[in-house]
A and B are shown apart, each in its own frame.
Chain A
Amino acid sequence: MNAYNFAYLDEQTKRMIRRALLKGLAIPGYQVPFASREMPMPYGWGTGGVQVSAAVLTPEDTFKVIDQGADDTTNAVSIRTFFQRTAGVATTTVTHDATVIQTRHRIPEEALGEGQILVYQVPIPEPLRFLEPRESETRKMHSLEEYGLMHVKLYEDISRHGHIATSYAYPVKVEGRYVMDPSPIPKFDNPKLGDMAAIQLFGAGREQRIYALPPYTQVVSLDFEDHPFEATKADHPCGMCGAQDSYLDELIIDDAGGRMFVCSDTDYCEARQAAGHKGKDAA
């Protein structure tokens, strides 16, 4: 019945990706080129993350996929189903039950532990791309640690908006060395990148880059002395579970423009509700 190799990719490709991952872990924040394979899904669906997951999954793993914090979007469901079929691994929506979590746009609210792996889908791995389109030049800037341009981007933000308006893919410096794009997670999640107990792996399929943060890596969000980094979120509690500390999505709930703020991390929210926490909009 199983026409594929375990987790779809052939062993040689997986070895190649694992070598890139090990190199990435050895040089935190450094973008390692890898020979990205065609996957049976479009690039926008996170083929970089899918290839990384395929390379790290073992039959004993329990796999979770989140997209904007939710386990039930089309994208999340199709990736979860893909590995159910091709690897036969157990899947879950419960963050602490998962050993491998593939994500787009969020880091789970619940602190991850040792033994867990977080795999990010990355659309544009190069943080300097915004102001310097030449790949040869950005590579040189990384190798020579010439990162002034990153602050030019933040300067432009402040001069235009009065504050640093970048709220997703907010650039970070890793272990005082490489500047890294954390993928389009909200900057609210940036503080979780640093000192995390889990392994963090980043895969960009179309751009053919892999990078990584080993456990307990120092990650600092770039800023100015007089405009320090702030991990902002909507200033509300969750309408369903009352959480004060979670990242919220704003939902329109009726034709009269009624709004409601709900945890973007559905597992976190549901677990809190199950434990009896109640927000003001909960039934």
Chain B
Amino acid sequence: MTPLLSVQGMTKRYGAHIGCADVSFDLYPGEVMGIVGESGSGKSTLLNCMAGHLRPDAGQVVFDTRTDGPRDTVTMSEPERRMLGRTDWAFVHQHARDGLRMGVSAGGNVGERLMAVGERHYGDIRDKATDWLGRVEIDAARIDDRPTTFSGGMQQRLQIARNLVTGPRLVFMDEPTGGLDVSVQARLLDLLRGLVRDMGLSAIIVTHDLAVVRLLADRLMVMKNGRVVEAGLTDQVLDDPQHAYSQLLVSSVLQV
């Protein structure tokens, strides 16, 4: 089987400082990859390089496109990459305000990607927005309200709806549950798990929270100082970590 995403030698420096170094892995259709590691270990840098938000210094990000098969998204033209970014790819930010238009209604937020790919029937766009609000458990009566009037959990669910409405095949998420109350986190995780399963989504999830990867990720990469120190099936890594750093990470969480 062709990997949906094949990352090779991903490297990003900030001056002399290493953001991430020589990261390689394959992601297969329907798989969810978790990336864990302490603060500053390079998780967001890696994710942003893969998603085309940061330009890596070295490495390839080969995506199996619908029309042309595997293509290196680092070297493809910017219009093509941005087109991927609003069709087959989605990006869920930690802070909903970074991923939403706060001055636009919930319906407009969900509809934006549809309009960006050429939908021009208001009624259809609104129906799809209504449907998606329902799928992320937001009352349809809130469709014309701005996200500024939403709770943190609702904003995050709205951001997810806005991203998934065009049926992407790959979702990048950076700490999607960060900054939310524990009970709100649990509900969001349930929702994400359901959506990933129902839509057969592939996803790459960056998180501090091992409970998140336990629930969502099939496989796991542990990062330290910009490098992957251990990778494997989630349960294996969490239950039987091999690398000293992974052991520390797992045990420190278990102690909490």
Interface residue ranges, A against B (CB under 8 Å)? 131, 144, 146, 148-149, 151-152, 155-156, 158-160, 223-227
Interface flag for B19 (CB, 8 Å)? no
Known contacts A131-B101, A159-B108; A148/B144 CB under 8 A: no
| B143 and A148 form a contact (CB under 8 A) | no
Chain A-chain B contacts (Cβ-Cβ < 8 Å), number:
54
| B82 and A159 form a contact (CB under 8 A) | no
- Alpha-carbon distance between A185 and B112 when the two chains are bound, in angstroms: 27
Contact with A along B104-121 (1 / 0, CB 8 A): 110110011101110011
Known contacts A148-B112, A148-B113, A148-B117; A156/B78 CB under 8 A: no
Contact of B111 among A155, A160, A226 (CB under 8 A): A155
Interface flag for B79 (CB, 8 Å)? yes
| B101 and A155 form a contact (CB under 8 A) | no
- Alpha-carbon distance between A129 and B86 when the two chains are bound, in angstroms: 20
With CB as the reference atom, state the residue of chain A lying closest to B126: A159
Interface residue ranges, B against A (CB under 8 Å)? 78-79, 82, 86, 101, 103-105, 107-108, 111-113, 115-117, 120-123, 125-126, 143-144
Contact of A155 among B82, B103, B115 (CB under 8 A): B115
Distance between B121 CB and nearest chain A CB, rounded to angstroms: 5
Distance between B198 CB and nearest chain A CB, rounded to angstroms: 26
**Which applies to chain B's interface (DSSP): helix, strand, loop or mixed?**
helix
In the complex, which of the residues A144, A159, A225 has the most CB atoms of chain B within 10 Å of its own CB atom?
A: A159
Measured between beta carbons, the chain B residues less than 8 angstroms from A225 are: 120-122
Measured between beta carbons, the chain A residues less than 8 angstroms from B116 are: 146, 148-149
Known contacts A144-B79, A146-B82, A160-B144; A155/B113 CB under 8 A: no
- Alpha-carbon distance between A152 and B146 when the two chains are bound, in angstroms: 13
Known contacts A148-B113, A159-B126; A131/B121 CB under 8 A: no
| B125 and A155 form a contact (CB under 8 A) | yes
- Alpha-carbon distance between A155 and B123 when the two chains are bound, in angstroms: 10
| A226 and B105 form a contact (CB under 8 A) | no
| A224 and B120 form a contact (CB under 8 A) | yes
9 residue pairs of the A-B complex, CB under 8 angstroms, read A144-B82, A146-B116, A148-B113, A148-B117, A152-B101, A155-B125, A158-B122, A160-B144, A225-B121
- Alpha-carbon distance between A146 and B84 when the two chains are bound, in angstroms: 13
Distance between A268 CB and nearest chain B CB, rounded to angstroms: 35
Sample of 16 further A-B pairs with CB below 8 A, known A146-B82, A227-B122: A144-B78, A144-B79, A146-B116, A148-B86, A148-B115, A148-B117, A152-B115, A155-B107, A156-B104, A156-B108, A159-B108, A224-B120, A224-B121, A224-B122, A225-B120, A225-B121
- Alpha-carbon distance between A227 and B124 when the two chains are bound, in angstroms: 12
With CB as the reference atom, state the residue of chain A lying closest to B79: A144
With CB as the reference atom, state the residue of chain A lying closest to B103: A131
In the complex, which of the residues A148, A149, A158, A223 has the most CB atoms of chain B within 10 Å of its own CB atom?
A: A148
| B121 and A152 form a contact (CB under 8 A) | no
Measured between beta carbons, the chain B residues less than 8 angstroms from A227 are: 122
Measured between beta carbons, the chain A residues less than 8 angstroms from B111 are: 152, 155
With CB as the reference atom, state the residue of chain B lying closest to A156: B108
- Alpha-carbon distance between A164 and B116 when the two chains are bound, in angstroms: 19
Measured between beta carbons, the chain A residues less than 8 angstroms from B112 are: 148-149, 152
- Alpha-carbon distance between A159 and B144 when the two chains are bound, in angstroms: 7
| B143 and A159 form a contact (CB under 8 A) | yes
| A152 and B123 form a contact (CB under 8 A) | no
- Alpha-carbon distance between A221 and B222 when the two chains are bound, in angstroms: 53
